[in-house]
């Protein structure tokens, strides 16, 4: 006997799915049988992941757009058909790195908006665009948002990013209360330091982590796929940490 998650007949949109954690989530959802819509601001990256999934026998399509632009998000999602599962994964600083990290008292207020544009407003844009279709479909929709332990723990030199991620988590809890009556669940997955294109080559000594390594993208894919499944229909408004013991919850 074996245990399997079956997402056959479900369409799942993964934002920022062209690399790193988003790529792993897209692959895992496809392995579970979902038809995966791979979003990325870079259409070439999205096409590459689609080709990988197709080659492995899965179903996927590319849908490039910028999550920070409401008009683009609305047009893309509304024109692509009903989304059963939305994974708000696009994040970081809207660029390929966090830029210069500094204490908040030394930060430039002109730089704060880029963190909110992707991590908070990007999540709000995609959720707003996907929800009407989920409601009209009669329930069973799933929204999973990737947030950060920087928000839950309060890492120094990341205050604007932490604020945006904490805002996304609070937003998801509020929406969960609104849409639960439709059978739609809304949850978050909070990440510690992960292997990703941004952290590649950066030093990491494991300090503060019980399991002294970075997280692996496929570990995120497994939890997201479970939360997207029918087995998780009584779980909503929650934040689950994948963090190697960086923080503990009671």
| Residue tagged active-site, from 3, 161, 240, 246 | 161
Strands (E) located in 107-232? 142-148, 185-191
Q: Which residue has the tokens 């000594």?
A: 205
Q: What is the DSSP string of 68-136?
A: T-HHHHHHHHHTT---SEEEE---TTSSSS--S---GGG--HHHHHHHHIIIIIHHHHHHHHHHHHHHH
- Backbone conformation region of residue 33, classed left if phi is above 0, alpha if psi is from -120 to 50, else beta: left
> Rounded CA gap, 188 and 248, in Å?
16
Q: Which residue has the tokens 């849409």?
A: 179
Catalytic site residue 161? yes
Q: Which residue has the tokens 């948002």?
A: 145
> Rounded CA gap, 138 and 149, in Å?
34
Instruction: Tell which residue, 70, 164, 154, has the closest CA to residue 111.
Output: 164
Catalytic residue ranges: 161
């Amino acid at each position: 006997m074996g245990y399997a998650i079956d997402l056959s007949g479900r369409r799942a949109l993964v934002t920022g799915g062209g690399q790193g954690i988003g790529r792993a989530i897209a692959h895992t959802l496809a392995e579970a049988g979902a038809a995966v819509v791979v979003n990325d601001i870079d259409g070439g990256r999205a096409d590459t992941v689609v080709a990988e999934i197709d080659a492995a026998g899965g179903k996927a399509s590319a849908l490039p757009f910028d999550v920070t632009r409401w008009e683009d998000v609305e047009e893309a999602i509304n024109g692509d058909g009903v989304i059963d599962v939305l994974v708000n994964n696009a994040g970081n600083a809207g660029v390929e790195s966090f830029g210069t990290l500094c204490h908040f008292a030394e930060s430039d207020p002109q730089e704060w908006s880029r963190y909110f544009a992707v991590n908070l407003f990007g999540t709000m844009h995609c959720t707003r665009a996907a929800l009407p279709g989920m409601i009209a479909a009669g329930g069973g929709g799933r929204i999973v948002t990737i947030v950060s332990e920087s928000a839950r723990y309060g890492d120094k030199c990341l205050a604007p990013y932490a604020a945006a991620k904490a805002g996304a988590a609070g937003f998801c809890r509020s929406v969960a209360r609104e849409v639960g009556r439709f059978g739609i669940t809304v949850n978050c997955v909070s990440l510690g330091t992960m292997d990703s294109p941004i952290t590649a080559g950066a030093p990491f000594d494991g300090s503060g982590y019980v399991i002294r390594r970075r997280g692996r993208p496929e570990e995120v894919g497994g939890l997201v796929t479970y939360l997207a499944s029918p087995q998780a229909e009584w779980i909503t408004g929650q934040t689950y940490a994948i963090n190697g013991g960086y923080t503990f919850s009671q």
